[in-house]
Structure 1
Amino acid sequence: MDGLGVMAVRINADMTQVEFAEKLRVSPALISLVESGRRTVTEELQVRIAQAFGTGPDVIQAIERARDSKKLAL
């Protein structure tokens, strides 16, 4: 998972960066840095996201839509 995937999960959950960070028990600054690509998504953060939001089809589809959208924007 990359920053775009993290953003897709957050947007799919209809949460702000602050709300998302609180749910994951991390700082909002970390979420901002990850989403902007200035920090990598650690294994620990991936586990927290999976525990909080699951890995169901809706989450996977949100990530895929975000990636497709980015490709179209290029």
Structure 2
Amino acid sequence: MNGVAVRAVRISKGMTQEGFAKILNVSRSCIAAVESGFRPVSPALRIKIAQAFGTGEDITEAITRARESEKLAL
């Protein structure tokens, strides 16, 4: 999972960075840094995302779409 995938999960849930950060118990600046690629997605953040949002079909689809769009942008 990278910053693009984190952003895709957040957007798929219709959340702002602030709301997403609150649910994950991290700062908004942490989410902004991860999404912009200035900070890697830590194992702890991956676990928090999985615990908060699960690994259901909608999450998997959002991550897959993010990966595909990232390939197209290159």
**TM-score, structure 2 as length reference:** 0.94
Q: Deviations over 1:27-63 (max 9, x none)?
A: 0000000000100111110010000000011101101
Q: What is the distance in 2 between the residues matched to 1:45 and 1:31?
A: 10
Could you say which residue in structure 2 is the equivalent of 1:13? 13
Aligned AA for 2:25?
R
4+ residue segments displaced more than 4 Å: none
Across the aligned residues of Structure 1 and Structure 2, the Cα RMSD in angstroms comes to 0.8
Q: Secondary structure at the match of 1:9?
A: helix
Q: What is the distance in 2 between the residues matched to 1:37 and 1:73?
A: 15
Q: Say if 2:34 is the partner of 1:34.
A: yes
Q: 5+ unaligned residues in a row in structure 1: which ranges?
A: none
**TM-score, structure 1 as length reference:** 0.94
Tell me the number of residue pairs that the alignment of Structure 1 and Structure 2 aligns.
Answer: 74
Amino-acid identity (%): 57
Greater mean alpha carbon deviation, residues 64-73 or residues 25-34: 64-73
